[in-house]
Amino acid sequence: MLFKVEMKVNIPHDLPAEVVDEIKATEKAYSQDLQQQGKWRHLWRVAGSYSNVSIFDVADNTELQELISALPLFPYMDISVTPLCRHPSSISSDDS
Ligand SMILES: O=C(O)CC1=CCC(=O)O1
């Protein structure tokens, strides 16, 4: 199942810089592992903001919840999820 996931990052200003750097490094490794597994298909920065638009390809809502709630930045993000399905006019072979 495909989901569009929008993540807006709100890191508290009083979090120590070294803690923030560690969280970001862990987040990067975690997201790159999921990308390599094909579960995190696309990761885009929204220009001009500290947010991203992502496409996840997971078995079901439960797997999506598990993956997203394990994000190191999860406590500091506003997240919205939109389920996707194939458009009848699409010519892409990988969007089902
Ligand atoms: O910087 C972000 O948009 C948050 C994030 C998600 C995956 C990642 O590596 O950073």
Contact 54, 40 (CB under 8 A): yes
Q: Which of 8, 11, 27 to mutate to test the pocket of ligand 1 (most atoms within 8 A of CB)?
A: 27
Q: How far is the CA of 52 from the centre of ligand 1 (A)?
A: 7
pTM above 0.90, yes or no: yes
> Could you tell me how many residues make up the chain?
96
* pLDDT tens series, the chain, 96 aa: 999 999 999 999 999 999 999 999 999 999 999 999 999 999 999 999 999 999 999 999 999 999 999 999 999 999 999 999 999 999 988 776
Q: Which fold has domain 2-84?
A: Alpha-Beta Plaits (3.30.70)
Closest C-alpha residue for ligand 1 atom 7: 31
**Residue 88 neighbours by CB distance under 10 Å:** 5
Give the domain ranges of the chain: 2-84
Say what the ipTM of the complex is.
Answer: 0.97
Nearest atom of ligand 1 to the alpha carbon of 32? 9
Write the pLDDT tens digit of every residue in 7-23.
999 999 999 999 999 99
